[in-house]
Amino acid sequence: MKKKIVFSGIQPSGNLTIGNYIGVIKQWVKMQEIYNCIFCIVDLHSLTQCNNKLKLDKTILDTLALYLACGINPNKSIIFVQSHVSEHTKLSWILSCYTYYGELNRMTQFKNNKIKNKNINSGILFYPILMSSDILLYNTNYVPIGEDQKQHIELCRNIANRFNKIFGNIFNIPKPCILKNGSRILSLQEPYKKMSKSDNNSNNVIYLLDNKIDIFKKIKFAKTDSEKNPKIKYDIIKKPGLSNLLNIFSGITGKTIKQLEKEFYGKLYIDLKYKIIKILSIFLERIQKNYYNIRKNEDFLKNIIFEGSKKANKIAKKTISKINSKLKLY
């Protein structure tokens, strides 16, 4: 039987976080053993941040080295850079003509951005269409994502269904893969919002390249709650900070929340924090050792991108050629 296709990507907009790892990269590592996986470094998406300080040539290689250090294997998966395959932007324009403005305007991520920024660029509005193009170009079956991207996949499915209704079965309808726990790792100091690599307060975030001292400080002072008789019990509504720590623990060790509640029964929050500091330090030290080894070899990294882009281009061109013939765009 033909293997199912997985597509997923991360913006090369800075240091990857433990949220990116637990939410998606960990899933990728497992999925590459079962499916045909395509992992993209979505540089065009990161242009929406209009951050002219971003040195994309460098951050793309940093991101790739982190993918590999976490266990993504270029011999098993296609790894490439979004802007190296021009079909993404072409399909994006075509799909935008089959997407209603109201649909884009209703996206929560767009609405949140509108509240935060006065001068919002239209790339942020169109972001879900570019994301849909990324996915649909590769006949994707499964898309591993964090919780925050769920609405974008629903939109992608709607656009694909709408297009298929008009032009016949062009696109597979992709399904999101969202973890039960760990699909939304929260900020350490403000545990009502997502942990984000672009957060201005670095104490909110555990980066994959954080050193042991930073891990210690950030976890030790992570916000919890001030219950009178504090119990280590998962409750994301009443105890978001503590529950977030349990999700991080579970995401790194593979232990279930129930197992952790049992293990820490009758113990103090600080006991849990010290244990997380220990397991995170060991875990990240291993990734960092791999990372610094791999990152030194730029020719090796560039070759992976070159080979990956060649393979991605081939698949993308086939899809676009099907669409061209349906739309009579020769």
Least separation, in Å, of the C-beta of 145 and ligand AQP? Answer: 4
Least separation, in Å, of the C-beta of 225 and ligand AQP? Answer: 20
Q: Token pair of 264, please? A: 């820490």
Least separation, in Å, of the C-beta of 274 and ligand AQP? Answer: 23
* Closer by beta carbon to ligand AQP, 17 or else 243: 17
* Closer by beta carbon to ligand AQP, 12 or else 320: 12
* Closer by beta carbon to ligand AQP, 62 or else 320: 62
Residues at the interface with ligand AQP (CB under 6 A): 10-11, 13, 17, 19-20, 23-24, 145-146, 148-149, 183-185, 194-198
* Closer by beta carbon to ligand AQP, 251 or else 323: 251
Q: Token pair of 102, please? A: 């109201």
Q: Token pair of 13, please? A: 């907009």
Task: State the Cα–Cα distance between residues 125 and 190, nearest whole angstrom.
Answer: 26
* Closer by beta carbon to ligand AQP, 152 or else 323: 152
Helix 87-96 and helix 298-327: axis angle, to 10°? 40
Least separation, in Å, of the C-beta of 222 and ligand AQP? Answer: 14
Least separation, in Å, of the C-beta of 65 and ligand AQP? Answer: 16
Least separation, in Å, of the C-beta of 119 and ligand AQP? Answer: 17
* Closer by beta carbon to ligand AQP, 65 or else 323: 65
Residues forming beta bridges with residue 79, ordered by sequence position:
39
* Closer by beta carbon to ligand AQP, 117 or else 303: 117
Task: State the Cα–Cα distance between residues 139 and 315, nearest whole angstrom.
Answer: 9
Q: Which residue has the tokens 């001030």?
A: 226
Q: Over the Cα atoms of the chain, what is R_g?
A: 21
Least separation, in Å, of the C-beta of 130 and ligand AQP? Answer: 11
